[in-house]
Amino acid sequence: MTRNTFRRLAAVVLLDAGIQGFGASDFAGPASARPMIDPTVFVLHGSGPFSRAIGTASVIRLSSDRFSLALVADHLPALSTLHVKVARHVYVAWLVDGNRPHGSTRWGAVRLMFNSASGNYLGQGSVTVRGITYMIVTAEPESQALRPIMPTLIVLTGVGRQP
């Protein structure tokens, strides 16, 4: 898939999430409960045995510590084919706040669901973290974890902002 295909998929996911139709005049300021109009877009890439895996994620700040995520991932291997000691049953997108001067890293998790019609994995949800330094997609035994299980099986990684 090309970069433009992922941008179109991200736009579709955002529209499905009900985020369309906002204009700059709709916002009272940073304390507004409405989403900010400029999403941060992460381009996600796999490496090693997951080198074919790719994805895109749009993250919108809802408040000072709340973010909304819409993610589309393609070419993720079937969970049943992963060779690990602890069986993995779900893909989870993690928004990671690693810029905490005092304390540990904070993790915000959103479960990915397989869309059989498109063959992609889709994730939508909101998380509570102070900021986002990077994001990863991992294979997990369950989606209710507070952080990725060890050893971490990272399938996709994304840092930085896409212009």
Backbone angles phi, psi at 7, to 5 degrees: -65, -40
Q: Is residue 32 part of a domain?
A: no
Q: Is residue 28 part of a domain?
A: no
pLDDT score at 64: 85
pLDDT score at 142: 83
What's the whole-model pTM score? Answer: 0.71
Q: Is residue 148 part of a domain?
A: yes
CB within 8 Å of 12: residues ≥ 6 apart: none
Q: Is residue 29 part of a domain?
A: no
**Cα–Cα distance between 116 and 100 in angstroms, integer?**
39
**Cα–Cα distance between 3 and 86 in angstroms, integer?**
34
Q: Is residue 111 part of a domain?
A: yes
Q: Is residue 25 part of a domain?
A: no
pLDDT score at 49: 85
Q: Is residue 27 part of a domain?
A: no
pLDDT score at 131: 81
Q: How far apart, in Å, are the Cα atoms of 116 and each of 16, 119, 121, 149?
A: 17, 5, 9, 27
**Cα–Cα distance between 76 and 55 in angstroms, integer?**
9
Q: Is residue 141 part of a domain?
A: yes
According to DSSP, residue 15 is labeled H
Handedness of CA 67, 72, 74, 77 (dihedral sign): positive
**Which of 150, 156, 155 has its CA nearest to residue 86?**
150
pLDDT score at 161: 52
Q: Any idea what the CATH number is for the domain that residue 91 is in?
A: 2.60.40
Q: Which domain range does residue 84 map to?
A: 3-20+39-159
Asked if 94 and 107 touch (Cβ cutoff 8 Å), the reply is yes
Greatest C-alpha distance within the chain? 53
- In this predicted model, what pLDDT tens digit does every residue of 13-39 receive, in sequence order? 444 443 333 333 333 334 444 545 578
Domain count, the chain: 1
Q: Which residues of the chain have pLDDT under 70?
A: 1-37, 99-104, 160-163
Helix (H) or strand (E) holding 45: strand 40-45
